Amino acid sequence: MSPARIARLMIPWLALRTAAIAHATPGPVYTLIGAHSTLTYTFTQAGAANQGRFKKFTVRFDPDAKRLAVRIDMRSFDTGDAQRNSILGGRDFFDVARYPQARFTATRLERTSSGYLATGPLTLRGVTRTVAVPFTWRIVETDGRRVGLLEGSTVLERLEFGVGQGEWRATEWLGNAVTVRFALRMAPVAR
């Protein structure tokens, strides 16, 4: 067999092999850059919108493996009002002494026309419910490095998770719907 014929036979094989290797090499996993990320919630009390935020949380996103995991330190919440914080941290609401962490792990991640939809169990105050969280994901160049931006929001019903016991179960003065918003800057890390 001539060298030219061998080369003609080898080129398609090499192209397929190179494509397979390139496809098999997964991209990076992304972890939270906390100083440039926000996780907030908005609730209605006596007809007025109020906002709070969580100061400590972790997020890990693996776009190739379609995995998203969030851990929230519930003790890190802040509404900007000491009296409200005291009530929300107590047994009738977040009960942070017994339930110091909330977790969300996507068991399904699918592309949508506007971004992604992560579906999976959210455990809050010891109660686990399946929730769907829409978000967008993009890679940008900032300060000379590539970072990921993961942004979105979802609405939760606080009573489904037992947030609001006793007199606080009534929705006359405290709404049931809570809007959770997140704007996360993520750094790529090696696998």
pLDDT on residue 181 = 98
Per-residue pLDDT tens for 37-67? Answer: 999 999 998 889 999 999 999 999 999 999 9
Can you tell me the distance from the alpha carbon of 43 to that of 52, in angstroms, rounded to the nearest whole number? 8
Instruction: Report whether pLDDT(4) > 80.
Output: no
pLDDT on residue 44 = 93
| Joined tokens for residue 4 | 């030219």
What element of type H or E holds 24?
helix 3-24
Domain 26-189 homologous superfamily, CATH: Lipid/polyisoprenoid-binding, YceI-like (2.40.128.110)
Sequence letter at residue 35: A
Residue 28's Cα: distance from chain center in Å?
17
The neighbour count for residue 131, using CB atoms within 10 Å, is 20
Per-residue pLDDT tens for 130-185? Answer: 999 999 999 999 888 999 999 999 999 999 999 999 999 999 889 999 999 999 99
Instruction: Report whether pLDDT(3) > 90.
Output: no
When comparing pLDDT for 14 and 103, which is higher? 103
Cβ-contact 152, 179 below 8 angstroms? no
Residue 48 burial by Cβ neighbours in a 10 Å radius (0-12, 13-18, 19+): exposed
pLDDT on residue 108 = 95
pTM: 0.84
DSSP secondary structure letters along 76-127: GEE-S-HHHHHHHHSTTTT-TTT--EEEEE-SEEEEETTEEEEEEEEEETTE
For residue 68, which phi and psi values (nearest 5 degrees)?
-140, 125
Mean pLDDT along residues 82-102 = 96
Start-to-end CA distance of the chain, whole Å, equals 44
pLDDT on residue 165 = 94
pLDDT on residue 144 = 87
Can you tell me the distance from the alpha carbon of 142 to that of 140, in angstroms, rounded to the nearest whole number? 6
On average, the pLDDT of the chain sits at 90
Residue whose token pair is 């519930």: 74
CA atoms within 13 A on the CB side of 177: 8
Instruction: Report whether pLDDT(15) > 60.
Output: no
Secondary structure letter of residue 64 according to DSSP: T
pLDDT on residue 25 = 74
